[in-house]
Each structure stands twice: as structure tokens, then as C-alpha cells.
């Protein structure tokens, strides 16, 4: 099992130092969240809390995850980065492909794209993208990204995206993994069809077990049962060395954690305290697992 350090909602000036500390203490990756803006009102409920409310406020910092990745990569040498997850439905994949190719070049291919459709209608509509049809649009966007990031002269002719021969350079020198997020049946099918892995939001252990089993069934239906596939999990009711061993037993390959939360610290805690929590977690859990 690998461990990924989540830096969600941390102050921007802490990011590079947290990434360095994670690298020095055995974390394989850093996970970065994505949200375009905070709308005062929402026309849909947040799908990953019991009451449907967001757990952050209008002043909570959400640094662009691609820019943050290049900043943290410059301060580190081996640790990897991925979005968890970038909202693809409201973005144009041709423009995004240019950004991703640049991130790959500037990080030495230490980047994986965690992606999802997006849950907030306002993020679509206010960016000029219809909320209706978002699933099919996202599927096409994934195909476009794969095509362009693969290098060479390519064209695409779909329902939502249509362009003639083009090439973007530099393209990633190594395969950029795509980790598909979401808990819905459609999201799981998308992960099995397009993904190099699946990324969970907050889930309880039994739900996580059932979801991994279902993904294995879907991968087999796609003829991908023997393909390498990552299961990235944010499990909210199994902790400590024994808890992470249990997660590994059901198939989790990458546990996404925020060590300072285990010590009762908030997102805005000082960076020194967060680094102490990272080192403590590494000593007590990573080394044991």
C-alpha cells in the first residue's frame, strides 16, 4: 500500500513545505483538490456529506491544482502529484491538454490526472457549459485528452468536440495516468472503461469494499481484469496500522490521508504543527504498514 498526503484547503504558502515534508517521510504522492469558485447559493446538494452541505466556506483557499503542482514539484525531486479530483465537465479539453502537457514537462512526468464530472450546476453554467449532457461530454473530453497527450498529429470528431489535425508539444514523455473519481454507477463504469485507477471521496469501509468489488466486476466486463489499476481511498472509519492493513486486504492500493486531522488540527493550522503530524504518522503508521 502507498500513502498519499492530502493538502486540501491548506493555505497556499504552506504547500511547498508540506510536499517536501511528505517526500522526506515516505509519502508517494500529494493529492490536490479542485473547485473553481464558491457560489453563494447552490442548485444541487454536495454529494459527499450526509446533509448535502459544503464543509468549507467562501474564504477557504482553493489554489488551482495544476499551478500548485508545478510550484510543489520545483521544491521536491521524487514525490508525485495528482488531482483529487479536477472537475472536467466544465473545462474544454483542448485547452486543458495544453496545461497538462506543460505540467508533465515541468514536473518530470510526476503527475497523474484525477478527474470527475463535477457536481455543481453553477460551475458549468457560469463557465458557458450546459449542465445537461455532462456525462457524455466528460467521456468525450477524456478521449480528447488521451488523444492529444499521446503525442503526434491528431484529430477528433464527436458530438461535443470537433477539431482537425493538431499537435501539442511537449507531450508527456511517459503515460499520464487518469484516476476517475465518483461513486455513482456511471462514474464507476467510466473508471472501468477509461481509468488507470479510481479515486474515492470520503467513504466508510464497508461501502468502500462493495465499491471495489463492483469495480473489479466492471473491469472484467471491459476485458481489463488483469490490467494494473489503482484504488485510491479516503476511508473515514479505519485508521492506524491495523486499519490500513484492512484497507489493503480489500484492495486499496493508495490511502489518501491528512495526518494533522488525526491530531485534532484544522486546515489552517500552522505548518510546523502539520509537519510534526506528518512525521508522527510516518513513524507510527507508514513504517508499520
- pLDDT at residue 229, rounded to an integer: 98
- pLDDT at residue 73, rounded to an integer: 98
Structurally, how many domains does the chain consist of?
A: 1
Helical H segments across 29-133, by residue range: 65-74, 93-107, 121-125
**Contacts for 177-180: CB closer than 8 Å, 24+ residues apart:** 177/82, 177/112, 177/113, 177/230, 178/112, 178/113, 178/114, 178/115, 178/142, 178/145, 178/146, 179/82, 179/84, 179/85, 179/112, 179/113, 179/114, 179/115, 179/230, 179/232, 180/85, 180/114, 180/115, 180/116
Q: Is residue 44 part of a domain?
A: no
At 241, list the grid cell: 496500522
- pLDDT at residue 14, rounded to an integer: 98
- Give the domain extent around 94: 87-176
134-152 average pLDDT score? 98
Output the CA torsion sign for 192, 196, 202, 205: positive
Q: Is residue 130 part of a domain?
A: yes
Q: Is residue 204 part of a domain?
A: no
Is the distance from CB of 93 to CB of 145 less than 8 angstroms? yes
Answer left, alpha or beta for residue 286, where phi above 0 means left and psi between -120 and 50 means alpha: alpha
Q: Is residue 146 part of a domain?
A: yes
- pLDDT at residue 276, rounded to an integer: 98
Q: Is residue 231 part of a domain?
A: no
Residues 24, 44: Cα–Cα separation, whole Å: 41
142-151 average pLDDT score? 98
pLDDT band (50, 70, 90) for residue 246: very high
2-21 average pLDDT score? 98
- Which tens digit of pLDDT belongs to each residue from 170-202? 999 999 999 999 999 999 999 999 999 999 999
- pLDDT at residue 271, rounded to an integer: 98
Q: Is residue 226 part of a domain?
A: no
pLDDT band (50, 70, 90) for residue 142: very high
Q: Is residue 243 part of a domain?
A: no
- pLDDT at residue 203, rounded to an integer: 97
Residue the block writes with cell 492500493: 253
Backbone phi, psi, residue 76, to 5° = -135, 180
Which residues make Cβ contacts (< 8 Å) with residue 243, sequence separation at least 6? 235
- pLDDT at residue 238, rounded to an integer: 97
For residue 88, give Cα distances in angstroms to 16, 120, 245, 277. Answer: 25, 12, 33, 32
106-134 average pLDDT score? 97
Choose among 115, 117, 161: nearest CA to 135: 117
User: Bridge partners of 80?
Assistant: 29
Q: Measure the CA angle with vertex 223, ends 159 and 235; round to 5°.
A: 85
Which residues make Cβ contacts (< 8 Å) with residue 178, sequence separation at least 6? 112, 113, 114, 115, 142, 145, 146, 194, 195, 196, 197
Residues 115, 183: Cα–Cα separation, whole Å: 13
Q: Is residue 219 part of a domain?
A: no
- Which tens digit of pLDDT belongs to each residue from 61-105? 999 999 999 999 999 999 999 999 999 999 999 999 999 999 999
Q: Is this prediction's pTM over 0.95? A: yes
47-51 average pLDDT score? 91
pLDDT band (50, 70, 90) for residue 282: very high
Q: Environment class of residue 266 by beta-carbon count within 10 Å: exposed (0-12), middle (13-18) or buried (19+)?
A: exposed
DSSP 3-state helix, strand, coil percentages of the chain (rounded to 5)? Answer: 40, 20, 40
Is the distance from CB of 112 to CB of 147 less than 8 angstroms? no
Amino acid at each position: 500500500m502507498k500513502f498519499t498526503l492530502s493538502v486540501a484547503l491548506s493555505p497556499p504558502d504552506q504547500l511547498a513545505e508540506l510536499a517536501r515534508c511528505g517526500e522526506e517521510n515516505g509519502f508517494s504522492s500529494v493529492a490536490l483538490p479542485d473547485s473553481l469558485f464558491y457560489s453563494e447559493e447552490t442548485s444541487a446538494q454536495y454529494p459527499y456529506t450526509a446533509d448535502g452541505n459544503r464543509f468549507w466556506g467562501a474564504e477557504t483557499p482553493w489554489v488551482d491544482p495544476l499551478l500548485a503542482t508545478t510550484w510543489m514539484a520545483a521544491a521536491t525531486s521524487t514525490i508525485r502529484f495528482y488531482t483529487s479530483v479536477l472537475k472536467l465537465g466544465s473545462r474544454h479539453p483542448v485547452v486543458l491538454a495544453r496545461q497538462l502537457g506543460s505540467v508533465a514537462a515541468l514536473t518530470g512526468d510526476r503527475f497523474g490526472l484525477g478527474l470527475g464530472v463535477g457536481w455543481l450546476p453553477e460551475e458549468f453554467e457560469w463557465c458557458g457549459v450546459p449542465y445537461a449532457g455532462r456525462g457524455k461530454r466528460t467521456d468525450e473530453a477524456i478521449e480528447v485528452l488521451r488523444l492529444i497527450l499521446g503525442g503526434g498529429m491528431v484529430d477528433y470528431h464527436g458530438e461535443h468536440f470537433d477539431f482537425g489535425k493538431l499537435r501539442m508539444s511537449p507531450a508527456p514523455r511517459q503515460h499520464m495516468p487518469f484516476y476517475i473519481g465518483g461513486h455513482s454507477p456511471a462514474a464507476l463504469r467510466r473508471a472501468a472503461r477509461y481509468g488507470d485507477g479510481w479515486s474515492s471521496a470520503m467513504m466508510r469501509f464497508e461501502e468502500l469494499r462493495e465499491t471495489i468489488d463492483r469495480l473489479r466486476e466492471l473491469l472484467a466486463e471491459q476485458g481489463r481484469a488483469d490490467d494494473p489499476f489503482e484504488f485510491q481511498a479516503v476511508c473515514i472509519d479505519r485508521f492506524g496500522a491495523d486499519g490500513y492493513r484492512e484497507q489493503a486486504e480489500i484492495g486499496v492500493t493508495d490511502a489518501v490521508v491528512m495526518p494533522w486531522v488525526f491530531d485534532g488540527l484544522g486546515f489552517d493550522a500552522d505548518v510546523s504543527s502539520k509537519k510534526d503530524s506528518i512525521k508522527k504518522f510516518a513513524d507510527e503508521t507508514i513504517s508499520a504498514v
